[in-house]
Chains A and B, each alone.
Chain A
Amino acid sequence: NAGVTQTPKFRILKIGQSMTLQCTQDMNHNYMYWYRQDPGMGLKLIYYSVGAGITDKGEVPNGYNVSRSTTEDFPLRLELAAPSQTSVYFCASSTRLLTGGSILPDEQYFGPGTRLTVT
């Protein structure tokens, strides 16, 4: 298993340009997430998905869009890049444990990240 893969690794955008950050997982996980990590800071949730065709906003969704047409792929779209979107972007996936009739959260597997600079 390759796990969670992200492309590209690095990208420089000019203000106003658009781009799509790709994320693919091969673990058949239903749950997928996009985070951004600013220098020296923690992880902020942008969008997440609990399955194909279902997406929801996280803590900082403005300026981003997502889609989930398949279980494997969860691309993140930046329509009008702004300097405030300079960050490292991480995609993650997870599953749920079914134990004793309860559905429990489980480990999130992270991709290697995409470093984006908007100038």
Chain B
Amino acid sequence: DAKTTQPPSMDCAEGRAANLPCNHSTISGNEYVYWYRQIHSQGPQYIIHGLKNNETNEMASLIITEDRKSSTLILPHATLRDTAVYYCIVRVGNAGNMLTFGGGTRLMVKP
């Protein structure tokens, strides 16, 4: 799986949009971009994934650049409960393929 680069930490004001960047310059054509988050002492939670088109669900939006070398996860209205470590992972979309976790971005949402 391609490696990803994320900033180690970010702050965001409550109610504002949180934009979390991820670089994946060596991504292959068949690799998806997945985002997970891990709240303290819990298992990772799936947020969203995409291949090349932008995606949106009830939790977040995923913006993937046209060359697919980077992406941004957007939490439109961050709350205190969104404080967590966010992991960007690229992976071939096959059930037998595991996820390889990097360091992630520790997002702190502040009142």
| B is a partner of A | no
Question: Which A residues lie at the B interface, using CB under 8 A?
Answer: none
Question: Which B residues lie at the A interface, using CB under 8 A?
Answer: none
